[in-house]
Structure 1
Amino acid sequence: MKDSECVEFLQWALPRLHMRWAGFRKIRSRVCKRIQRRINQLQFESISAYQEYLQKHPEEWQKLDELCRVTISRFYRDKMVFNLLELEVLPVLAGQALSGDEDVLHIWSAGCASGEEPYTLVLVWDLSLQLRFPRLHMHILATDTDPVLLKRAEQACYTFSGVKNLPAAWRETAFLDTAGAYCLDPVYKRSVDFQCEDIREALPAGPFDLILCRNLVFTYFDSELQTIIRDRMWDRLKPGGALVTGVHEVLQEGKQDFEIWSAQLGIYRKAGQAHVIC
């Protein structure tokens, strides 16, 4: 299959999945390879034959949807984001929680893949901020549509390339070197609950102090679906809560406006309380 043929196919198929071509343009090669394997599996001679098959067999769209899932995940991805979370965002949210006489900071990691993002947050909290807020604990709900990835997340064993961006001291403290794999110490897994959930169909009830939805909704989904999910996230954030998107993503306008916390890093805030760092 030629690249041009795959591009034409994706430009036809993606809108029918409520996805947008712009989000796939740079990473299309991996998706095209998956589609080619599916074409071979079905013993079709061309992508046009697969296109006809999709039109006659609606159940195949679910398979194509799975082929279009893109996972790029590692610990401490976009270091500056986690630096701001550590130095400003989490302390502000912690202060707000304590002022409301709460003892748990509720966080949702949407599209958590193999768990790198929620576990990074746990390390930031436990190894940097917990002593500062001894009365407050963190609970993270981490969701993804892929049960295979969620199983890996629960096992929490990674290659060095997945953890290399973490501070060396954190790697040594939080991971056990097991047969060449870096396996997270179980003590750092207790704050995270994993759940299989498609964000297009349902969102957890909340309310949350912090939602992380990076490099998923606002990259791959079409504008209509982006707006719907954005408004649902707004509803699930506590007043003063924060939303973290990808650093290259643009947050759609919706029924309610978010305040900008850091435009450069894609961090926003639901109006409600003043920025007071405790």
Structure 2
Amino acid sequence: MQIDDKDIEQLLETTDWEPAEDHARTEASLARLIARLDQRRHRMHMVARTSCVLAIIVLVMVTGTVWYRWTRPMVTAVHETQTIPAGVVRLVPVEADSTPGALQRALASLTGRDPRGLLTSVCEIPGTRLLRAELAGGTGHLLLLPGHGIVGIVASSSQSSSLTESVVRIAPHDARTLTAQDLATGEEIASRDVSVAALGRVVEAHPMTAAVYQHVTPYPGGQQGKPALPYDPTTLYLSSGYVHLHRVVTVPIETTGSHPASLSAVVDIDTQRVIAIVDTTGISGVILTDDPGPQVVLSEP
């Protein structure tokens, strides 16, 4: 049976080209679309929150690390100088009632300052465990070894004249000649010192050629009592009194770090102890020691 053009036209006119709407299917498709959009929005929110949290954590860690490295030297220096020796008091007088309060200590710790006002800045000496703490007023600096406290007190050149006012300068030619045995003794004393051992090892000692300042003991009975004293080769007799000469040597310390430092131990052979550890790089001024020991000058101001 053949379909002619008339039948085709009639078929086209009578065919319903708009199918009936399937509301259930439309709603299901819309629900699936909304669900997918909600999932995508949730994932984007989670990614945004996670990124913010990670950024905050990284910022806190970086800031905390920088703050810790910035404040740690000062915090360590303040801890190591809880007991202030007489030599430091001579440079920076400390008032008895100047103890800082808890709030002042907390603020100073957060800002990397000394709540007592004793130290102005602290830095590490490269290649060593030593800290160099500058004293207030530019009067000098301290060398600190964490766990061992103050190992060296150096007054600035500007303070040298006032510090050496009441003491006598002992030139190298005034003191007894240092023998090889003296040098060996000084090296042995330095090698037994715990602070020196914590920094490195000692190498060959050499006599100190700089001046030593010592206190003068008045003659008993004044100038007239001088002839009554028995002669002692270890004593220097002056017009105003006498001085028991100290044999002092410097012992270089070889550090173990990748950046070797110029450290030396100043050894008093007569008192059998290391009186100071100093960084001899460009040092100029008086090395203060515990009274009544000698005051040493490695470089004249």
TM-score by length of 2: 0.22
| Larger Rg belongs to | 2
Instruction: Give the structure with the higher percent strand.
Output: 2
Using CA pairs under 8 Å that are at least 6 residues apart, name the structure with larger relative contact order, 1 or 2: 1
